């Protein structure tokens, strides 16, 4: 089964691009447009905030989470796609990884001016990582930046179908201890390899390996420090008997 990426993964890629700008300024000539169109482009016809988001989903290996695996450089088209798919959420419930669509020109006709990916949201503000933004031009600023804006500028929020850790994926310490105990017991009953037969006969013959009350030698199991000390003591006791000083 292919595991879908998490919201944290797309945010990691988004953060790695912070600081990248168009070259030259005000040209829309930027690596994200080059990737999106397959060749360099420039001019006012190529705003790239949406192309930046498309690149992020390519980066995480899940292009299908963006516009069904297709391409669009239109924020409005992309938002309407998620809306049709039932993947939009209330802006007051925005969370990391959500795609946040902004309206800066005050229109109420459903036209989205800009898009960013949510990094955090608190106290009536949302912090996003956007392509083609800037401090002097929110929707066409020419840089990848982290921006904090009031929720009043949010025209819509979409939530791609990222992988989310389910309750059954979370193992408590008690559950882990129980599973580990079961695993160790299974190892104790595993038969040793034939390649160690001579050495095992020697160890058992000299009393170094005795086994537990079930007769298990546990050759395939782990050894604790306590067990190691016991074996070490038995070994040196054996050596002492063999090389016992004559004066004693």
Per-residue pLDDT, 248: 53
DSSP string for residues in the chain: -PPPPPHHHHHHHHHHTTT-B-SSTTS---HHHHHHHSS---STT---HHHHHHHHHHHTT-GGGTGGG-----HHHHHHHHHHTT-EE-GGG--TT-EEEE--S---SS---EEEEEEEEETTEEEEEEEEE-SS-SSS-SEEEEEEEEGGGEEEEE--------GGG---HHHHHHHHHHHHHHHHTSPPPGGGHHHHHHHHHTTS----TT----TTS---HHHHHHHHHHHHHHHHHHT--TT-
**Domains along the chain with CATH numbers:** 7-158 (3.90.1720.10), 171-242 (no CATH)
Residue 4 pLDDT > 70, yes or no?
no
pTM, two decimals, is: 0.67
Per-residue pLDDT, 2: 46
94-115 pLDDT, tens per residue?
999 999 999 999 999 999 999 9
183-232 pLDDT, tens per residue?
777 777 777 778 888 988 888 888 888 888 777 888 878 888 888 898 88
51-103 pLDDT, tens per residue?
999 999 999 999 999 999 999 999 999 999 999 999 999 999 999 999 999 99
């Amino acid at each position: 089964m292919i595991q879908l990426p998490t919201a944290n993964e797309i945010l990691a890629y988004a953060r790695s691009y912070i600081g990248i700008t168009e070259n030259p300024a005000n040209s829309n000539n930027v690596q994200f447009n080059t990737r999106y169109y397959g060749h360099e482009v420039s001019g006012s016809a190529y705003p790239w905030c949406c192309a930046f988001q498309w690149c992020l989903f390519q980066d995480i290996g899940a292009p299908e989470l963006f516009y069904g695996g297709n391409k669009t450089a239109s924020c409005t088209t992309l938002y309407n796609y998620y809306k049709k798919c039932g993947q939009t959420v209330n802006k007051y419930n925005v969370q990391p990884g959500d795609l946040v669509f902004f309206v800066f020109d005050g229109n109420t006709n459903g036209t989205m001016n800009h898009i960013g990916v949510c990094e955090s949201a608190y106290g009536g503000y949302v912090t996003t990582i956007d392509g083609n933004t800037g401090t002097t031009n929110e929707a066409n600023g020419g840089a990848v930046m982290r921006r904090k804006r009031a929720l009043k500028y949010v025209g819509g929020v979409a939530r791609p179908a990222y992988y989310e850790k389910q309750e059954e994926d979370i193992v408590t310490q008690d559950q882990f201890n129980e599973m580990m105990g079961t695993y160790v017991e299974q190892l104790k009953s595993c038969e040793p390899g034939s390649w160690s037969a001579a050495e095992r006969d020697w160890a058992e013959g000299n009393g170094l390996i005795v086994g537990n009350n079930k007769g298990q030698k546990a050759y395939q199991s782990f050894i604790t420090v306590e067990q190691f000390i016991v074996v070490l003591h038995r070994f040196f006791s054996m050596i002492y008997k063999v090389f016992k000083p004559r004066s004693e």
